[in-house]
A and B are shown apart, each in its own frame.
Chain A
Amino acid sequence: MGRQAIIEVRDLVAKYAEETIFDGISFDVFQGEIFVILGGSGCGKSTLLKHLIGLIPPAAGRISVAGCDICRSEEKAFRDMLKKIGVLYQGAALLGSMTLADNVALPIKEYTDLPQVSVERLVKMKLGLMNLEGYEDHLPSQISGGMKKRAGLARAMALNPEILFFDEPSAGLDPVTAAELDNLIIHLNSTFGTTMVIVTHELESIFAVAHRVIMLDKNTRGIIAEGDPKYLRDHSENRFVRQFFNRLPGLANEAEGLEKR
Chain B
Amino acid sequence: MNRPEVIKSCNHQISESAEGDLTIHLEGGIGISNAAHMTRVLYQVLEDKPQTSVTVDLNKVNYLDDFGVLVLVELKMIVLGEKAEFCLQNISNEAGKALSMYNFDLLGKRDKPYKRTERQGLLIRLGEATVRQAADLKYMISFLGSICLSILYTCLNPRSLRRDDTYMCMQKTGVDALPIVGLISFLMGLIMAFMSAVQLQQFGANIYVASLVSLAMTRELGPIMTAIIVAGRSGSAFAAEIGTMKISEEIDALFTMGFSPTRFLVVPKVIASVIVVPLLTLFSDLFAIIGGLIVGVFTLDLTANAYISQTIKTLALFDVFLGLFKSGVFALLIAWIGCLRGFQVKGGAASVGKATTSAVVSGIFLIVLFNSIFSVILRYWE
Chain B min CB distance to A163 (Å): 10
* Interface pair A97/B348, CB less than 8 Å apart: yes
- Scoring A residues 50 to 74 as 1 if CB is less than 8 Å from chain B, else 0, what string do you get? 0000000000000000000000000
How long is the Cα–Cα vector from A161 to B209 in the complex, in angstroms? 73
Chain A 104-137, CB-CB to B under 8 Å as 1, else 0, gives 0000000111110110111111101100000011
**Interface of chain B residues 26 through 73 with chain A (CB within 8 A):** 31-32, 35-36, 39, 65-67, 69-70, 73
- A160 in contact with B2 (CB, 8 Å): no
Mark each residue of chain A from 138 to 172: 1 if its CB lies under 8 Å from any CB of chain B, else 0.
01110000000000000000011010000000000
- Shortest C-beta distance, A197 to chain B (Å), equals 15
Bound state CA distance, A190 and B65, in angstroms?
Answer: 12
Residue of A nearest to B352 (CB): A96
Encode B90-125 as 1/0 by CB contact (under 8 A) with A.
000000011001110001100101111100000000
Name the CB-closest residue of A to B99. Answer: A191
B281 to nearest A CB, angstroms?
39
Q: Is the interface of B mostly helix, strand, loop or mixed?
A: loop
Contact B349 A96, beta carbon cutoff 8 Å: yes
Asked whether, in the complex, the Cβ of B114 is within 8 Å of the Cβ of A120, the reply is yes
Q: Is A176 an interface residue (CB 8 A)?
A: no
Contact at A193–B102, with CB atoms within 8 Å?
no
**Is A101 positioned at the interface, with any CB of B under 8 Å from its CB?**
yes
Minimum distance in angstroms from B333 CB to a CB of chain A = 30
Asked if A251 is at the interface of the complex by the 8 Å CB criterion, the answer is no
Q: Is A1 an interface residue (CB 8 A)?
A: yes
Which residues in A have their C-beta under 8 angstroms from that of B67?
112, 122, 160
Contact A125 B347 (CB under 8 A): no
CA distance A209 to B117 in the complex (A): 39
Q: Is the CB of A192 within 8 A of B111?
A: no
* A139 near B97: Cβ-Cβ < 8 Å: no
Name the contact of B114 in the complex, choosing from A1, A112, A124 (C-beta under 8 A).
Answer: A124
Complex Cα–Cα for A24 and B346 (A): 45
Cα separation A136 to B115 with both chains bound (whole Å): 8
Q: Is the CB of A137 within 8 A of B114?
A: yes
Whether B348 lies near A140 (C-beta < 8 A) is yes
Q: How many angstroms between the C-alpha atoms of A17 and B232 in the bound complex?
A: 35
Is the CB of B156 closer than 8 A to any CB of chain A?
no
Cα–Cα, bound, A112→B102 (Å): 20
Known: A160-B66, A191-B98, A191-B101. A96 touches B35 (CB 8 A): no
Q: Which of A121, A124, A129, A141 contacts B348 (CB 8 A)?
A: A141
Say if the beta carbon of A187 comes within 8 Å of chain B.
Answer: yes
Partner of B101, one of A117, A124, A129, A159: A129
Q: How far is the CA of A96 from the CA of B244 in the complex (A)?
A: 13
B114 close to A126 (CB less than 8 A): no
B351: chain A residues within 8 A (beta carbon) = 96
Q: A187-B101, A193-B2 are in contact. Are A97 and B350 (CB under 8 A)?
A: yes
Contacts of A123 in B (CB 8 A): 114
Instruction: Give the docked Cα–Cα distance between A136 and B117 (Å).
Output: 11
What's the least CB distance linking B124 to chain A, in Å? 18
| Complex Cα gap A114–B346 (Å) | 35
Closest A residue to B77 using CB positions: A121
Taking a contact as CB atoms closer than 8 A, the residue among B65, B101, B113, B350 that contacts A120 in the complex is B113
CB of A32 within 8 A of chain B?
yes
- The answer, among A31, A97, A193, for a CB contact under 8 Å with B349, is A97
With a CB–CB cut-off of 8 A, which chain B residues contact A31?
Answer: 3
B74 near A: Cβ within 8 Å? yes
Is B1 within 8 A of A122, CB to CB? no
Residues of A within 8 A of B32 (CB): 111-112, 159-160
- Binary per-residue interface labels of chain B (321-355) against chain A in the complex, 1 for a CB within 8 Å, 0 otherwise: 00000000000000000000000001111110000
10 A-B pairs with CB atoms under 8 Å apart are A32-B2, A96-B348, A96-B349, A101-B114, A115-B39, A118-B36, A118-B74, A192-B1, A192-B66, A194-B3
7 new A-B contacts at CB < 8 Å, known A32-B2, A114-B35, A193-B2? A96-B347, A96-B349, A97-B350, A114-B36, A121-B108, A125-B107, A139-B348
Q: Which B residues fall within an 8 A CB radius of A?
A: 1-3, 31-32, 35-36, 39, 65-67, 69-70, 73-74, 97-98, 101-103, 107-108, 111, 113-117, 346-351
The 10 A-B pairs of least Cβ separation, nearest first, read A96-B348, A141-B347, A136-B114, A97-B350, A193-B3, A191-B97, A113-B36, A160-B65, A114-B36, A120-B113
